[in-house]
Amino acid sequence: MNVALFVPCYVDQLYPHVAIAALGLLEALGITVAVPEGAACCGQPPANAGFERRAEHTLGAFVSTYAPYDRVVVLSGSCAVHVRSHAGSLGAAGAQVAERTTELCAFLHDEVGLDAVASLGASFPRRVAVHVGCHALRGLGLARPTELQGPRFDKVRALLGTVQGLTFAELSRPDECCGFGGTFAVAEPAISAKMGRDRLRDYDAHDAEAVVSTDVSCLMHLGGLAARGGVRLPMLHVAEVLWSEERRANSEESERVRSSLLAPRSSLGGPS
Amino acid sequence: MTKRAFELPVLHEPHRADGAVDHAKAAARFTADEARTDWHDGALWWVRAKRDLAAASLDEWEALRELASSIKEHTLSRLDEYLVEFEAAATRNGVTVHWARDADEHNRIVHGILAERGATRLVKSKSMLTEECGLNPYLQARGIEVIDTDLGERIVQLRGEAPSHIVLPAIHLKKEEVGDTFHDHLGTPAGLADPTALTQAAREHLRAKFLAADAALTGVNFAIAETGGLVVCTNEGNADLGMALAPVHVASLGIEKLIPRASDLGVFLRLLTRSATGQPVTVYSSHVHRPRAGQALHVVLVDNGRSTQLAREGFWRSLKCIRCGACMNTCPIYRRSGGHSYGSTVPGPIGSVLTPGLDLERYASLPFASTLCGSCTAVCPVKIDLDAQLYRWRQLVTAAGHASTGKAIAMRGAGLVLARPWLVRALGAAARGAMRVVPRRVMRVAAGAWGRARDLPPAPPQSFRAWYRANRSDRS
């Protein structure tokens, strides 16, 4: 299987260590991953702001870049949902890319399997609050949202359940939106910030020692609020937890990876 | 009656006729009182939690939602036929059926019915449709006393406010504020805030109004095409009291309230109150088929934009709504901005998909009052794709040129830049460079609305792409 990784624009620029962890993780699982050039964005931000037309070129570039691959693993639930929901409007090639597009955790859970992920031997001895992004949750079905009835499942928790020492903080509102919402964060700054602060309070009330999410965009918002409020709460993408420090230490590239990680993580209050 | 300062229309600003609703501004005002915002959010979250328990009590919950959605979609697809069938059955039952194209026609018809009888005292049970039509001021201007008899509606009516929620109209008020209002208008002792005592005062006040009324108006939850029957759901019995006592009963009915058969009703009654408040069923589910001996029963079927919405490919499913309010209770924005911030009769997610169709320019900000988190769609008992419809309205708002200029320009720029990966990277590199050298305080200002409450992440020394080129050069 011909697998490509899509690293969203803001992850590429501001959170390179997350993409490095995702790549390291997939490679450690024996998957050959391409990260093709040619698409920096899926077009979601302008489309959700009401400029879908203008975002068509961006989504078109995504489609043509990823058309040659059997699987497009997106490092963001939100971007994955955008491609899956809208690429089909760009014709047959778009529809095929839409169908082949998935998100990292969904790919790991559904196609790689928990046994393989567990074999990585990740360790993260902390109580974590899990934040499944709303689009990953309700758009991709990574977990059963609390509104819906039926057997409970949570693919993200299942993945994190393979990590040694990791325990879960049980939150009052396990799937309340964090308030990022793309341009919502700047169009409705008062409510957006209030929603995020309320999530931080929920984490604090349940003694969370880290927040782990499917979506770095949510973490950028939550992390920004935490930093402003002087709250030291590490915020990590699932890939960073699964591709643990221990594994990194054994990796050939440990030094190079570590140097990339150092700058961004330390001032967010990351694990020391 | 005295008017207190707090009754002046602070919360009414979005309603002003002289400008578009600015949800973000109204929401910022609401959240400025953080303790009150937490209280409002908590009260509605409590209702949502009760709904979750009620939904979980039925193994067939999801099947019921699917069935209700299918019945409504079927009905809407043949609404013309079902409306005619309803009219024929109701007429056979001795009901006078009227058709109103819009709010104004509805108001004129209702006034005509009252004027013909010389009725001057109308008791109303909760009807969002008459709020939508602006019936109260219309009748009051013509010398008719209109008393809202639902407790919450009566409270906001005394205060000169609009309901802030379609099921819980006074959810934005604390019991102390209700006590003040009753003190001013009903003469309860100053400082009385005990809910039981206040409710008793309202009962006594309303009982006199019920007895004196010469006409009653009710809304309708479901109208059955097969039988011509009306179903009215209340918790307080006020609709029953009104229509049982008054010599004239007018039922105002939005045309989307039809269901085909009496046997379909159970599906909706099981969903409605569980979704609305977490109760298994409303205290009163009243069935009306024909007038009592000596009573006149009128039904006014109201379109007021509904047939236009029905013709909109991406939006007609919004007419499935059974007005349970669950999308408001679950909406993280509604809970923290209050119903008045929407400036529309129906607030929250469903209001934000129904109202722009009435006046796109005026309500242009409402489809943007959402993170598109999708909780509304998942909670909706008739499976309206609310978040998808909000997304679609956003496209129409910007196409019509109603997006705020700053955002429009920023997004036009973003569209140009994002389609060009090299440009994204170049600009990103420049920004990252700036972020490393510029003092944090300056960055906060530069980051605009983002920086008011949040820090930007620390800028890493290189992008992932740069790292990848250096470390995986064999593959790129």
**Rounded Cα–Cα distance for residues B182 and B204 (Å):** 12
Contact B372 A7 (CB under 8 A): no
B301-350: pLDDT as tens digits: 999 999 999 999 999 999 999 999 999 999 999 999 999 999 999 999 99
Instruction: Point out the residue among B56, B394, B463 whose CB comes nearest to the CB of A49.
Output: B394
- The Cα of B142 is separated from the nearest Cα of chain A by a number of Å equal to 42
A65-118: pLDDT as tens digits: 999 999 999 999 999 999 999 999 999 999 999 999 999 999 999 999 999 999
Predicted local confidence at residue B430, as pLDDT:
67
Q: How confident is the model at residue A247 (pLDDT cuts 50, 70, 90)?
A: low
Is A251 part of a structural domain of the chain? no
Are A98 and A145 contained in the same domain?
no
Are A158 and A87 contained in the same domain?
no
Q: What is the ipTM of this complex?
A: 0.90
Predicted local confidence at residue A264, as pLDDT:
39
Last residue of a domain, one of A110, A140, A160: A110
Q: Show the tokens assigned to B45.
A: 């979250």
Taking CA–CA distances from B64, the nearest residue in chain A reads A149
**CB-side exposure of B13: number of CA atoms within 13 Å?**
12
Predicted local confidence at residue A267, as pLDDT:
34
Is A219 part of a structural domain of the chain? yes
Is A33 part of a structural domain of the chain? yes
The CATH architecture assigned to B27-307 reads 3-Layer(aba) Sandwich (3.40)
3-state class of B48 per DSSP? Answer: helix
A19-38: pLDDT as tens digits: 999 999 999 999 999 999 99
pLDDT at B11 over 50: no
Cβ pairs bridging A and B (under 8 Å): 248
Are A221 and A158 contained in the same domain?
yes
- What strands, in cross-sheet order, belong to the sheet with B145-148? B96-100, B296-302, B248-254, B215-218, B121-124, B145-148
Are A95 and A43 contained in the same domain?
yes
Contact A48 B452 (CB under 8 A): no
Question: In chain B, pLDDT over 70 holds for what percent of residues?
Answer: 87
Contact A46 B463 (CB under 8 A): no
Are A119 and A193 contained in the same domain?
yes
pLDDT at B298 over 50: yes
What is the tally of structural domains in chain A? 2
Are A141 and A158 contained in the same domain?
yes
Q: Write out the H or E segment, with its range, that includes residue B218.
A: strand B215-218
Q: How confident is the model at residue B457 (pLDDT cuts 50, 70, 90)?
A: confident
Predicted local confidence at residue A127, as pLDDT:
98
- Chain B residue numbers with beta carbons less than 8 Å from the beta carbon of A41 are 418-419, 421, 424
Pairwise pLDDT comparison (B463 vs A264), residue with the higher score: B463
Averaged pLDDT for residues B89-96: 98
Predicted local confidence at residue B57, as pLDDT:
97
pLDDT at B7 over 50: no
- Chain A residue numbers with beta carbons less than 8 Å from the beta carbon of B32 are 190
Taking CA–CA distances from A53, the nearest residue in chain B reads B395
**Rounded Cα–Cα distance for residues A18 and A220 (Å):** 12
Predicted local confidence at residue B474, as pLDDT:
67
Pairwise pLDDT comparison (B250 vs B2), residue with the higher score: B250
| Residues written for chain B | 476
pLDDT at A272 over 70: no
pLDDT at B13 over 50: no
Are A106 and A211 contained in the same domain?
no
Question: In chain B, pLDDT over 90 holds for what percent of residues?
Answer: 81
Residue of A147, A201, A228 to mutate when probing chain B, most B C-beta within 10 A? A147
Instruction: Point out the residue among A13, A17, A177 whose CB comes nearest to the CB of B332.
Output: A177
Residue of A10, A14, A176 to mutate when probing chain B, most B C-beta within 10 A? A14
In contact, A192 and A185? CB cutoff 8 Å: yes
Comparing CA positions, the residue from A137, A102, A134 lying closest to residue A4 is: A102
Q: Residue A151's domain spans which residues? A: 115-245
Scanning B144-163 for CB atoms below 8 A from A yields none
Last residue of a domain, one of A110, A127, A150: A110
pLDDT at B18 over 80: no
Q: How confident is the model at residue B441 (pLDDT cuts 50, 70, 90)?
A: low
A49-58: pLDDT as tens digits: 999 998 999 9
Are A50 and A172 contained in the same domain?
no
Least confident of A195-204, A260-269, B115-124, B234-243: A260-269
Q: How confident is the model at residue B10 (pLDDT cuts 50, 70, 90)?
A: very low
Q: Is B193 on the interface with A (CB under 8 A)?
A: no
Averaged pLDDT for residues B412-438: 66
Least confident of A201-215, A258-272, B274-288, B393-407: A258-272
Q: How far is residue B29 from each of residues A181, B224, B336, B341, B379, measured CA to CA in Å?
A: 20, 43, 11, 9, 28
Is A150 part of a structural domain of the chain? yes
B126-155: pLDDT as tens digits: 799 999 999 999 999 999 999 999 999 999
pLDDT at B446 over 90: no
Last residue of a domain, one of A110, A125, A142: A110
Are A129 and A237 contained in the same domain?
yes
Are A146 and A235 contained in the same domain?
yes
Q: How confident is the model at residue B437 (pLDDT cuts 50, 70, 90)?
A: low
Q: Is A268 on the interface with B (CB under 8 A)?
A: yes
Is A12 part of a structural domain of the chain? yes
Q: How confident is the model at residue A253 (pLDDT cuts 50, 70, 90)?
A: very low
Predicted local confidence at residue A259, as pLDDT:
41
Predicted local confidence at residue A245, as pLDDT:
53
**Rounded Cα–Cα distance for residues A229 and A231 (Å):** 5
Q: At how many degrees (to 10) do helices B34-56 and A189-205 cross?
A: 70
Task: Enumerate the domain spans of chain B.
Answer: 27-307, 313-399, 409-471
Is A270 part of a structural domain of the chain? no
Least confident of A44-48, A202-206, B265-269, B440-444: B440-444
- Chain B residue numbers with beta carbons less than 8 Å from the beta carbon of A45 are 411, 414, 418
Instruction: Point out the residue among B330, B378, B476 whose CB comes nearest to the CB of A35.
Output: B476
Averaged pLDDT for residues A43-54: 90
pLDDT at A190 over 90: yes
Q: Is A180 on the interface with B (CB under 8 A)?
A: yes
Averaged pLDDT for residues B39-54: 98
Q: Strand pairing of B229-234 and B222-224? A: antiparallel
Are A151 and A92 contained in the same domain?
no
Pairwise pLDDT comparison (A134 vs A246), residue with the higher score: A134
Pairwise pLDDT comparison (A162 vs A254), residue with the higher score: A162
Predicted local confidence at residue B453, as pLDDT:
87
Averaged pLDDT for residues B362-384: 97
**Rounded Cα–Cα distance for residues B457 and B461 (Å):** 12
**Rounded Cα–Cα distance for residues A57 and A59 (Å):** 5
Contact A188 B407 (CB under 8 A): no
Predicted local confidence at residue B315, as pLDDT:
97
Least confident of A134-138, B320-324, B375-379, B448-452: B448-452
- Chain B residue numbers with beta carbons less than 8 Å from the beta carbon of A8 are none
Is A268 part of a structural domain of the chain? no
- The Cα of A206 is separated from the nearest Cα of chain B by a number of Å equal to 18
**Rounded Cα–Cα distance for residues A129 and B141 (Å):** 57
Q: Is A11 on the interface with B (CB under 8 A)?
A: yes
Instruction: Point out the residue among A9, A148, A264 whose CB comes nearest to the CB of B424.
Output: A9
Q: Is B88 on the interface with A (CB under 8 A)?
A: no
Is A237 part of a structural domain of the chain? yes
Q: Is A111 on the interface with B (CB under 8 A)?
A: no
Predicted local confidence at residue B87, as pLDDT:
98
Residue of B454, B472, B475, B476 to mutate when probing chain A, most A C-beta within 10 A? B454
DSSP designation for A90: G
Are A189 and A80 contained in the same domain?
no
Average pLDDT, chain B: 90
- Chain B residue numbers with beta carbons less than 8 Å from the beta carbon of A63 are none
Q: How confident is the model at residue B411 (pLDDT cuts 50, 70, 90)?
A: low
Contact B368 A187 (CB under 8 A): yes
Contact B432 A146 (CB under 8 A): no
Predicted local confidence at residue B6, as pLDDT:
28
Pairwise pLDDT comparison (B435 vs B258), residue with the higher score: B258
Least confident of A221-235, A256-270, B236-250, B358-372: A256-270
Predicted local confidence at residue B445, as pLDDT:
60
Averaged pLDDT for residues B12-34: 78
Q: Is B403 on the interface with A (CB under 8 A)?
A: yes
Residue of B334, B366, B372, B417 to mutate when probing chain A, most A C-beta within 10 A? B372
Contact B450 A256 (CB under 8 A): no
- Residue tagged 């205060």 (tokens): B159
**Rounded Cα–Cα distance for residues B7 and B2 (Å):** 10
